[in-house]
Structure 1
Amino acid sequence: MNPSLPASRPAAPRRRLLALAGAGLAAAALLMPAAASAEAWPAKPVKVIVNFPPGGAADQLARLVGQPLSEALGQPVVIENRGGANGNIGGEAVARSAPDGYTLLMSSGGMVSVNPHLYQKMSFDPAKDLVPVAAAARVLVYLVVRPDLPPKNVQEFTAYLKARPGKLSYGSPGVGSSPHLAGEMFKSQTGTFATHVPYRGAAPALQDLLAGQIDFYFDPGIALQHVKAGKLRMLAVGSPKRSPLFPDVPTLDEAGFKGFDADTVFGFYAPAGTPQPVIAKLNAEINKVLAMPAVQERIAQLGGEAAPGTPEAFHERAMADSVRFGAIIKERNIRAD
């Protein structure tokens, strides 16, 4: 018998252990680049594409959050406006971007909850090609009218509209925007008819209302300073609860239009495939920004409410809105193409 044989018997177990250790090291090596990139992110400026023109709620929220977010990340946060097609142009630009955390989207919730109902064909699927990062704010809508119109409350305004079918007009930031859908909800519940005038953004619609070119508007918050200055008259809030800025102004639900809710949640999205650690870091930092008293105060001045939360909660809200808005889009046969 070979005397060395007993000593060699443990070799097979050692080989197995070495093989297992090698496999573990290989797996760790595969994970290291992703972990390292997540730790290194961001190593350059982060671009936020706003899919609506300057001056609207999405633009103002992006710029409000962008500055303190830049300080938290240690890199510039660059805001770029790409409006058009009810947000689809900017949404597609982000959906087609590299999923590395350096290109984000600031959009109304309508990108996911409304546009798929409006367009028979879209060049991208917002529910699959974009992932939620963080909600920013719940944006309320306010029924405001020209101050020279006789009605002083919702009931008088409804009667005024009914007596003048098709003679009054209302504006919106575009077909399928929350102000447009609010107008359609209102016409549906009141049995009235007014002409819808879509604009390329909220700011141009507001300017024409101030100039007397249109008669009323469901405002997403940018007209509030003009209401306070007496240049416009607010009749109601198109949300489930009253605004703390105008505690004496009733909701449309309180005025008799039960269940009226045209609120939407604005927030940040990223291209699908963006590393989860990057999304988690962005979500945490954006939530910290939204907890700042100065940011909350500014969002309140815009007529909204800060809406910190998880990406999952943001997505669930969008899906619930999809059901609600999809119903009015189908009922009113609204199409964008």
Structure 2
Amino acid sequence: MLSGLKTISSAAIAACFAMAAFAAPAAAEDFPSKPIQFIVPYAAGGPLDGMARLLAEKVKSDLGTVIVENKPGAGGNIGASIAAKAKPDGYTLVMGAVAINAINPWLYEKLPFDPVKSFEPVTLVASVPNILIVNNDFASANKINSVKDLIAYAKKNPNILNFGSGGNGSAGHLAGELLNVRADIKSVHVPYAGAAPAKLALLAGQINFMFDNLASAASLITENKVKALAVTTTERSSAFPQVPTMQQEGVEKFDLGTWFGVFTTGGAPKAVVDKLNAAYVKALQDPAVRKNLLTMGSDAKPTTPEEFGELVKHDLAKYKEIVEVSGAKLF
């Protein structure tokens, strides 16, 4: 009798293993069978929000309905934490960014997610340079036409120059502090409640310079309202090829691009992640998407999930040093 029970038990266990083995591929084949939630961890109307909504339309033929929801707050951490805590089935996506996935882990003492383990990378969408812009009147009065001129002025006038940013710990703040360290100058940081008021202060002459996202600063540059001195990436921008890089201007180890891309919840099946990757990589080749990205000063940068994951790990290490250099800390 006991032998028979053992036989039945063994058979039942074997059947369970067999069912489990077939369940995952079947789920991946059926994916998606319901709408997908795409979280944008920033306010509506921004460039990441617009791109998420455009991509949602372009992946419709492959993935069905993708519902974009804005969950702003805490530097993107609120929206990211919702995606991190979702069921790992691929039905929750989040538009991650360098600030959330590579900078915030070093700025905040506690995060409600792990920047690597909590997410499965799907694909990088774009990498956008930041750009150093200077108040026109200040530049004209002091004959500042290059980064070298700005550095020379700062060395002669320590603690006189001030630079604005969208807040403590923002990319603009980190870039300004990195310039202080790499160029051995002393300029004073003035934080604002967002990049928009910082730009208004720059135009009004209340601050001398700032590092802004190229997508945000492009119109000010083309309308000659500010002077553009350099981009912060290792390569020039195709949108402003005449503007050199910081490194070309003699500031070594200065590479601060702003990237953003699609993630899903950590632990999602590889087959599901691969299906999401195929759909979003295809969408990034669409002419309308590429045109939209060009207005941000970037080309589409589709990757494999593995390539995107390596970028996140690389930038986590890079920004650890930069945040330490800046002295920025948020709680």
The TM-score normalised by the length of structure 2 is 0.85
Structure 1: where are the runs of 5+ without partners?
1-15
Per mean C-alpha deviation after superposition, the further-off stretch among 246-255 and 212-221 is: 212-221
Q: Secondary structure at the match of 1:126?
A: coil
Distance (whole Å) between structure 1 residues aligned to residue 120 and residue 86 of structure 2: 13
The answer to whether the 8 A contact 2:132-2:231 is kept is yes
User: 1-side partners of 2:57 and 2:197: how far apart?
Assistant: 26
1:26 CA drift (Å)? 4.4
Q: Which AA in structure 2 matches 1:83?
A: P
Q: Once superposed, what is the RMSD of the aligned Cα atoms?
A: 2.7
Q: Check if 1:85 corresponds to 2:74.
A: yes
Structure 2 residue identity aligned to 1:98: K
2:62 is aligned, of 72, 77, 80, to 72
Partner of 2:89: 100
Match of 2:265 in 1: 271
- In 2, are the aligned partners of 1:50 and 1:58 still within 8 Å (CA)? yes
| Corresponding residue SS for 1:131 | strand
1:263 is matched by which residue type in structure 2? G
Instruction: Select which of 239, 246, 255 maps to 1:261.
Output: 255
Partner of 1:225: 219
How many angstroms apart in 1 are the aligned matches of 2:44 and 2:202? Answer: 18
Q: For the structure 1 residues 94 and 36, does the alpha-carbon distance in structure 2 shift closer, same or farther, using more than 3 Å as the test?
A: same
Whole-angstrom distance in 1 between the partners of 2:197 and 2:93: 25
- Which of 140, 162, 172 pairs up with 1:179? 172
Please, which of 112, 116, 139 is the counterpart of residue 127 of structure 1? 116
Deviation at 1:142, TM superposition (A): 0.9
Is the aligned partner of 1:160 residue 2:150?
Answer: no
Quote how far apart the aligned CAs of 1:199 are.
Answer: 4.6
**1:108 deviation in Å?**
1.1
Give the partner amino acid of 2:52: A
Query: What SS does the corresponding residue of 2:247 show, helix, strand or coil?
Result: coil
Which residue identity does 1:232 align to in structure 2? V
Paired residue secondary structure (1:39): helix
Would the alpha carbon gap of residues 156 and 308 (structure 1) be closer, same or farther in structure 2, given more than 3 Å must change? Answer: same
Map of 2:24 onto structure 1: 34
Question: After the TM superposition, which segments of 4 or more aligned residues of structure 1 sit over 6 Å from their partners?
Answer: 18-24
Tell whether 2:282 aligns with 1:292. no
* Cα distance in 2, alignment partners of residues 69 and 145 from structure 1: 40
8 Å contact from structure 1 (residues 179, 217) kept in 2: yes
The secondary structure found in structure 1 opposite 2:299 is strand
Cα 1:320–1:118 change in 2 (3 A) is same
**For residues 35 and 212 of structure 1, do their structure 2 counterparts lie closer, same or farther at Cα, with a shift above 3 Å needed?**
farther
Offset of 1:234 from its aligned partner? 0.8
Distance 1:235 1:278, change over 3 A: same
The match for 2:35 is 45
Does structure 1 conserve the Cα–Cα contact (< 8 Å) formed by 2:137 and 2:205?
A: no
Counterpart-to-counterpart distance in 1, 2:121 and 2:269: 12
Structure 1 residues 20 and 120, CA gap change in structure 2 (3 angstroms): closer
C-alpha distance after superposition, 1:265-317 (max 9, x if no partner): 31111111222222111111111111223322321220123211111111111
| 8 Å Cα contact 2:177-2:325 kept in structure 1 | no
Q: Name the SS of the counterpart of 1:78 in structure 2.
A: strand
Distance in 2 of aligned mates of 1:160 and 1:58: 36
- State the aligned residue count: 320
For the 8 Å contact 2:203–2:225, the answer to whether it is kept is yes
Distance 1:196 1:53 in 2: 25
Change (3 A) 1:81 1:209: farther
Unmatched 5+ stretches in structure 2:
1-6
Question: Structure 2: how far apart are the matches of 1:321 and 1:303?
Answer: 21
The partner residue of 1:319 within 291, 302, 313 is 313
TM-score, length-scaled by structure 1 = 0.84
Q: Distance in 1 between matches of 2:206 and 2:36?
A: 39
Deviates more, 1:321-330 or 1:20-29: 20-29
2:132, 2:232 within 8 Å by CA — same for their partners in 1? yes
Equivalent AA in structure 2 for residue 145 of structure 1: V
Residue identity in the other structure for 1:106: M
Report percent identity of matched pairs.
Answer: 39
Q: Is the 8 A contact 1:171 1:217 kept in 2?
A: yes
For 1:79 and 1:211, locate their aligned partners in 2 and report how far apart those are by CA, in whole Å. Answer: 36
